[in-house]
């Protein structure tokens, strides 16, 4: 079993967000994480919240503990502060679940 998160973002600055992805991928790899699907979307027909969404992706880890370690890693937090905070208007965790690998 692996652990996966389905995320919706409102990306405001594509270039800075791309830099975020580039900088965080080696850290993600250290925690045995990877992206599964990644979509740029133009129309959201139904949303449970008020946040705009223009990007939807899955991020997968070998375990929930690896995911928790990644998101609390000090190197990741620096990358997040440097790139993510200014490039993303809102983030929505649509779902998180265990997945058969």
pLDDT of the residue at 39: 97
pLDDT of the residue at 51: 86
The domains found in the chain, sorted by start residue, are 2-99 (3.30.70.100)
Which element (helix H / strand E) includes 78?
helix 74-79
pLDDT by residue for the chain (101 residues), tens only, comes to 999 999 999 999 999 999 999 999 999 999 999 999 999 999 888 888 888 999 999 999 999 999 999 999 999 999 999 999 999 999 999 999 999 87
pTM, full prediction: 0.92
């Amino acid at each position: 079993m692996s652990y996966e998160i389905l995320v919706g973002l409102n990306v405001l600055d594509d270039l800075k967000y791309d830099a975020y992805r580039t900088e965080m991928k080696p850290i993600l790899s250290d925690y045995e994480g990877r992206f599964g699907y990644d979509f740029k979307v133009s129309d959201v027909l139904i949303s449970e919240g008020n946040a705009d969404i223009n990007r939807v992706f899955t991020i997968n880890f070998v375990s929930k503990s690896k995911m928790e370690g990644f998101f609390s890693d000090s190197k990741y937090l620096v990358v997040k502060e440097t790139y993510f905070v200014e490039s993303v208007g809102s983030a929505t965790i649509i779902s998180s679940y265990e997945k058969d690998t």
